Structure 1
Amino acid sequence: MSSIGKIDKIDKIWFTRCPVPTASGLAYNLGWLTEELGDVGVLQDAPPELADRHFDHQLLGLFREGGNVPALAARSEGAQTRLVGLTWIEEWQVILVRPGSGITGAAGLKGARVALPAWAATRATSFPRAMALHGVKGALTQAGLTLDDVTFVEVAQPQPSVGALAGAAPLGAGPRSFSWPGIAELARGEVDAVYAKGARAVDQAREIGAVVAVDLDAHPDRRTRVNNGTPRPITVHEQLLTDHPDVVVAFLAQTLRAADWAADNLDGVRTILAQETRSGAEGVATAYRNGFHTSLHPDLSQERLDLLRIQKDFLLVHGFLAADVDLDAWVAREPLEQARLTLKAAA
C-alpha cells in the first residue's frame, strides 16, 4: 500500500461524513484510516474554504460518505466524482406532531400544516428541504395521499455547515437549541407536523414533548423511506480513482473491516455515535435500532441502486438537481470488489 507521502499531486487525503452511523466514520474513530493512509484530514476540522467541499466535492483527495442530495447535486452540476459504495441504515425517520393534535397516523395528515425548510443558497445545501419533502411524501403514500393533500409552511433552515450537518447541534448548543428545522415552529403551534430523523431529532422531540404520528421505519416497503441518507453514497474524485486506485481500495477495505467490527460491538458503536451525533445515549438507542450495527457494509447491489434511482428522480422533479444523473455511468464497481478481496486475503 502506498503511503500518503507517495501520492503525486495530492497534498492530503481528506475524509468527510455526516453525523450518522457509517463504517468509514467508525474506521476513522478506530484509527484504522490513519494507520492505512497516513495523516488523514477530517474536513469537519478544515478551514471554511475547504470545509465547503463537503457539498461540491471539488477536492481531489476527498472521500465523502454522506447524504445523497449533495452528492447527486454535485454530480448533476458536473463534479467529476464516482460512486464506489452505498449503505442503507434505518435511522428513525418519523413525522412528529404535538400531543393531542388528533393526528395519529398517515391518514390524519390530510389538510395538516407541514414544515418545509426554505431553499438555501445552493441545491446541495438545500438538503433539509429535500429531506422534509420526500419524508412527508413517504408518509402520505402510506395512506394513499399525495403532497397536494397537505399545506406546506416554509420554515427557516439552519445555516448548513460541515460541523452541524443534517440536524446536528452546533458545538456548545444548549438543550433548547432547536437545530432541526421545524421543531421550534411545531413547539409554537405554527405547524402541525414535522419530518425528522436521527439521534439529535430524538433528543429535540423529547425536549418539546412531541410525539410520533408516523414511524416511517415501521413500514415494510423500503421505498416509502428513500431519502437523503437512504441509501447513503460513498464518493471519490474521478482523478483520485484513476491515478491512485490503491488508495481508494485501501479506504474501502478499512470501511469493510470496520463494518465487520461493528457487527460484534454494539456498545462501542453507540459510544462513537453519541460523540459524532452529539446526542445522548437514549437518543442514539432510539434512532438506531433493529440491529443497525450489523448492516453497515457498503455495496453496489441492484436493489440499492434502484432505491437511489427513486431518490434521484424525485430530486430532479422537485428542482434539486441541475440536470439528470446517469447512475450507471457514475458507478465504479471495481474498487469495492478489490477491497473485499484485500480484506479476505488479510484474514
Structure 2
Amino acid sequence: MTIDTLWYTRCPVPTASGIAHGLGTLAHAAAGAGLDFRILQDADAATALHHFDHQLPGLIREGGNVPALAARAAGAPTRLIGLTWVDEAQQILVAPTSDITSAADLAGRRIAIPAWAADGARSFPRAMALHGFSSTLALAGLTLADVVVVEVDVERTPEVRDSADLDRSDPGRSITTAGVAELRAGEVDAIYAKGARGRDAAREHGLRVAVDLDSATTPHGRVNNGTPRPITVHQQLLDDHPEVVEDFLVRSLDAAAWAATDLEGVRGLLARETFAEGPGVADAYGETLHVGLAPTLDAERLDLLAVQEQFLYTHGFLAGRVDVAAWADPAPLERATATARRTALPAGVVV
C-alpha cells in the first residue's frame, strides 16, 4: 500500500506533539514529503479505531502506553521512537467525610475498578486504576488482595475525538475519573483519578485527596498509562518516509523548546487538549510541566516502560509479551535531536 497521508493521533494529555499541532506546525512534516496531513480524531469511526490497534500504515501516535503495548503485543507492526514523562496528578480520591487518610487505611475497603472494555487496548481505564491502586497499596505493604474490588461501569468502545468537537460537559472526559458517581453514592470508598480532569472532578464534587502518588512514591511507583508515554510509528511509514518521521520529531522538539519559555501559553493549549478547565491544568501539572516535554529513549524510561509491560501482561491486558528494548528504534530521535531547529514560533501564531 502506498502511503499518501501522514496520520497523527494523540490522547487528551500533555504532549510536545500535541502542542506542535496546537501551534499549527505539525502539518509541515507531511507537506515536505508531498503527503496530506490528517488528524485521526477527525476521521470516520472505522479509521479512528486505529488509535487503539495502530494498523494504519501512515500513522504516528503519541498517547497512553496501554493501547500502544496492547497493539504491539497483538502484532501491530509498530516501532517505539520516543518516550516522555510528565507527572500528571495521580491520586486516590475519597468522600469528604471519609476516614481514609493514607494507603494503610485502604485495607478492607471497597475500591472502584472500571470493568473490562471491548479489548485490552480500550480497557486502559481499568489498567490505570489497577496500577494506581497497586502502587498506592504497596506504600503500606498491601496488595489488591487486601481490598474489595468493585467493578464500575465504563464505556466499552471509547472513541477518540478532537477536543474542538467536544463540549466541556461531554461524559467522554470521565475515563480518567471512573467511579465518581459510585463514590458519591457511597457504593465504593475510594477511586483512582489522574490528570487535570481528576483535579476538576475533585473540585466539582467536593472529593478529598487521600493519597497523592506524585509526592508519595518514586518514579517506579508512578508508572502507569501515561508514565512513561510512548510515541509509536507504523513500520511502513518509517521505512517509506523516514524523513517525515524525523521531521515530526523535530517539530515536537521545537514545540517542547518553545513550551519551556511560555508556561501560560502551554496551559492555554493544554486546557483544550485535556478537556479541562484552567485551574485543573495548573493544579495537575504544576509550575514545571513546560520544561519536561521533550521525548527521549534513555535507559531509565525504557526500564520504566518495561515495568508497565510486566504489569499489563500479568493482569491480562496483553496478548503476549513485548520486548521493550527490541521494540525501540532510537535512530529517528537521534537524527531529529541532532538537527532540531528549536526555532521561534512562526509569524502569526496566536496561542
Partner of 1:160: 158
Measured in 1, the distance between the counterparts of 2:130 and 2:69 equals 16
1:124 to 1:255, Cα distance in 2 relative to 1, 3 A: same
Residue in 2 that maps onto 1:274: 271
1:28 and 2:21 aligned: yes
State the SS of the aligned residue for 1:21.
coil
- Residues 167-222 of structure 1, C-alpha deviation per residue, up to 9 Å, x if partnerless? x9982353898823111111111100000001112112222111100000002411
3-state DSSP of counterpart to 1:40? strand
Tell me which residue corresponds to 1:5: none
Q: CA deviation at 1:37?
A: 2.0
Whole-Å separation in 1 of the counterparts to 2:120 and 2:296: 27
Match of 2:349 in 1: none
1:101 paired residue number? 98
- Matched AA of 1:161: E
- Supply the distance in 2 between the matched residues of 1:259 and 1:92 (Cα, whole angstroms): 20
Equivalent in 188, 192, 203 of residue 206 of structure 1: 203
Counterpart of 1:20, as a letter, is V
Number of aligned residues: 337
1:163 aligns to what SS in structure 2? coil
Equivalent residue letter for 1:72: L
AA aligned opposite 1:281: G
1:341 aligned counterpart, secondary structure: helix
Indicate if the aligned counterparts of 1:17 and 1:25 stay in contact, CA closer than 8 A. Answer: yes
Contact 1:178 1:184 in 2 (8 A): no
Q: Find the aligned partners of 1:328 and 1:178 in 2 and give their Cα distance.
A: 33
Deviates more, 1:70-79 or 1:290-299: 290-299
How far does the alpha carbon of each residue in 1:16-68 deviate from its partner, in whole angstroms, 9 at most, with x for none?
A: 00111000001111111113323421111111011000000011111100000
Counterpart contact for 1:249–1:336, Cα < 8 Å: yes
- Describe how 1:61-140 pairs up with structure 2 within 5 A: 61-140=58-137
Give TM-score scaled by structure 1 length: 0.93
The CA distance in 2 between the partners of 1:30 and 1:169, in whole Å, is 14
Q: List alignment gaps of at least 5 residues for structure 2.
A: 345-351
SS of 1:32's partner is coil
Alignment counterpart, residue 306 of structure 1, candidates 303, 307, 310: 303
Q: What runs of 5+ residues in structure 1 fail to find an aligned partner?
A: 1-7
Deviations 1:201-251, CA, capped at 9 Å, x for gaps: 211222211110000000241111100000000000011111211111000
Q: How does 1:314-325 map to 2 (within 5 A)?
A: 314-325=311-322
Give the percent of matched residue pairs that are identical in Structure 1 and Structure 2: 58
Question: Pick from 161, 166, 177: which aligns with 1:171?
Answer: 166
Q: Structure 2-normalised TM-score? A: 0.92
Query: In structure 1, what is the Cα distance between the partners aligned to 2:123 and 2:165?
Result: 18
Q: Describe the SS at the equivalent of 2:82.
A: strand
Contact conserved, 1:169 with 1:177, CA < 8 A, in 2? no
Structure 1 distance, partners of 2:335, 2:342, is 10
CA distance in 2 between partners of 1:35 and 1:322 (Å) = 36
In the alignment, the residues of structure 2 paired with residue 250 and residue 185 of structure 1 have an alpha-carbon distance, to the nearest angstrom, of: 46
The yes-or-no answer on 1:146 pairing with 2:143 is yes
Residue 300 of structure 1 and its aligned partner are, at CA, apart by 0.3
Give the partner amino acid of 1:186: L
Q: Tell me which of 9, 17, 38 is aligned to 2:10.
A: 17
Aligned equivalents of 2:164 and 2:171: distance in 1?
A: 10
Taking structure 1 as reference, are residues 170 and 123 closer, same or farther at Cα in structure 2, changes over 3 Å only? farther
CA distance in 2, matches of 1:156, 1:275: 26
- Please, which moves more after superposition, 180-189 or 311-320? 180-189
Hey, what's the Cα distance between the residues in 1 that align with 2:343 and 2:105?
54
Q: 1:241 to 1:280 in 2, by over 3 A?
A: same
Supply the distance in 1 between the matched residues of 2:287 and 2:298 (Cα, whole angstroms).
21
Partner of 1:4: none
Q: Give yes or no for the alignment of 1:37 onto 2:35.
A: no
SS of aligned partner of 1:293: helix
Structure 1 residues 341, 306: closer, same or farther in 2, change over 3 A? same
CA distance in 2, matches of 1:89, 1:50: 28
Classify 1:211/1:131 alpha carbon distance in 2 versus 1 (closer, same or farther; 3 Å): same
Q: CA deviation at 1:146?
A: 0.9
SS at match of 2:224: coil
Q: Partners in 2 of 1:67 and 1:346 — Cα distance?
A: 28
Tell me how far apart the structure 1 counterparts of residues 228 and 97 of structure 2 sit (CA, whole Å).
Answer: 34
How far off is 1:328 after superposition?
Answer: 1.7
